[in-house]
Amino acid sequence: MKLHIRAMLKGQRGRHLSFHTPGHKRRGEDITELSYSDNLLSPTGCIARAQQDAAHILGAARSFFLTDGSTSGVFAMLYALKARGARRLVASPFSHRSVKNACMVLGLEFVPLKGERAEGIPLQPTLKELAARIGEGDALLLTSPDYYGNFPPLKGARALCDGAHIPLVIDGAHGAHLHFSAEYAGRFADMWVDGVHKSLPARTQGAVVSARAEYAEALEEGVSLFRTTSPSYPILASVEYAVKYPRNLKTELLAQALKREVGALANADWSKLVLPFGDEADAAQRALEARGIYPEFNDGNYLMFYLSPCTKAGELKALARAIKKLPRGKLHFAAGAREEGGEATELVPLSACEGRLCAKECGVFPPCLPLVERGERVSAAAQRTLLSARSTFGLEEGKMRVFLEEP
C-alpha cells in the first residue's frame, strides 16, 4: 500500500533552505506545514489520503492521526462524549490516568467500576458487573486489551450499550496490533484510540483515534482542541507506516508457544508476555538487563515483555533462554483494607508508610496503575514494591501522602 506521507517527504529531497520552523534548520523529514507538506489541522493532501486509508484499514468512518499519544485521543473521545450529551462515564478504576484527567478537565463524572485484582493483577470488569452498573452512566469506557494482555467482555458490553442506548468508547492504547483480529476495538466501539507507537512500529507518541459515522464530527472537534498545532512529520509518517504494517503471524505463533514454554500468564494477547517472578522480580530484571534484555515494566511481582510484529524470532529465542535460567520467587499481593480517611493529611517517607492510610493513589510507572489506592491501608508488600521501584507516580518528592489518624 502506498505510504503517502513518506512519499511526500521523499519527493522533496532537493535544495531546501529552511527559513521556517523547526529551529534546528536541518534538512530532512522534521519539517513544518509548508506549501507541499499538507496540514494535519485541515488536511487535503497526503495526510488526508493517509488518514482515509487508515480509516479503511481500521473499519472507521473517520480516523485522525495523533502525534501526542493516545492521551490526546482519550481527551478527544471524552470531549466528543460530552459534546453529544454524556455527563457520567462508567469505567474501571484501573483506567489510564488520561481518562480520569480528561473527566476532571471536561467536567464528566467518573463512575468507577469495582476494580478487583487476582494474584496482584488488575482484573477487567465482568459482564455481570457491567450489566448491573451500566445504568449509572451515559457512556461506557473499556480498556482493551490492558497492559497485562487481558480483554473485557467486548461483545457483551456492546450489546449492553446498545440496549441502554449509550456509546461504548475503547481505550486501545495497547491494542493497535489487533486490527487484523476479532478482538479489535474498532469492531465494538463507537470511538476508539489505537496506540500505534506501543504495539506497532510507529515512533513514540504516534496514535490514531477513530469513530463510527455518528461520532465522527464531535471527535474531529475534540481532536482539534487537544492536539498540538505543531505535529511532528516523522511521527505522522510513522503512524501511517505502522497502520499499514503487515501482520507477522510467525512472531505471533512463536510468542504463543514461548508463553507456554516459560510459564507466562495465559492471557489472550500474544504481544504481552507477563512472567510471575514474585519477590525475585527485581533480581530477575537486573540479571536480564545485565544481558541487554529490557522488559517494559516490573510491577514488583511480574515482569512484562512487550512484543510487536517487529519482534524477531531470534530475539524471542534469546529471551526464552535467559528467562529459563532465572529463579521464580513467591508472589506477594496482600491488598490493604479500605477505610474512610478524614480531612487532614501528611507526607511520610516510604520507609514509614506501612500500615498508614493512603490519601493519594500511587504506584509504579509503567504500568501506571494504582498499587495503593486512596483509602487503602499500605501493606508491607506494597511498601517493598514502592521502595524498590525505579520509577513511581503519585508520590510527592518520594514521600506518600497519608491521612492523619488519631493515635
Ligand X SMILES: Cc1ncc(COP(=O)(O)O)c(C=O)c1O
What is the binding site for ligand X (CB under 6 A)? 69-71, 74, 96, 98, 143, 147, 171, 173-174, 195, 207, 366, 368
Q: For residues 160 and 305, what is the distance between their CA atoms, to the nearest angstrom?
A: 33
When the beta carbons of 29 and 194 are compared against ligand X, the nearer one is 194
When the beta carbons of 138 and 194 are compared against ligand X, the nearer one is 194
CB 173 → ligand X: shortest distance, Å? 3
CB 94 → ligand X: shortest distance, Å? 9
Q: Which three cell numbers stand for residue 211?
A: 469513530
CB 351 → ligand X: shortest distance, Å? 29
CB 115 → ligand X: shortest distance, Å? 14
Q: Where are the alpha helices (DSSP H) in 233-296?
A: 233-243, 249-262, 281-290
When the beta carbons of 74 and 288 are compared against ligand X, the nearer one is 74
CB 365 → ligand X: shortest distance, Å? 9
When the beta carbons of 112 and 366 are compared against ligand X, the nearer one is 366
- Whether the link from the prior residue into 309 is cis, omega within 30° of 0, is no
Q: Residue 221 to residues 52, 80, 81, 362: CA-CA distances in angstroms?
A: 17, 7, 11, 33
When the beta carbons of 71 and 238 are compared against ligand X, the nearer one is 71
When the beta carbons of 156 and 366 are compared against ligand X, the nearer one is 366
CB 146 → ligand X: shortest distance, Å? 6
CB 187 → ligand X: shortest distance, Å? 18
When the beta carbons of 167 and 195 are compared against ligand X, the nearer one is 195
Cβ neighbour number for residue 39 with a 10 Å cutoff: 15
Q: Which residues does 145 contact at the CB level (< 8 Å), separation at least 6?
A: 151, 174, 175, 178, 183, 267, 268, 269, 272
Q: What is the dihedral of CA 49, 50, 55, 57, to 10 degrees?
A: 120
Task: Specify whether the CB–CB gap between 173 and 195 falls below 8 A.
Answer: yes
Q: For residues 407 and 8, what is the distance between their CA atoms, to the nearest angstrom?
A: 69
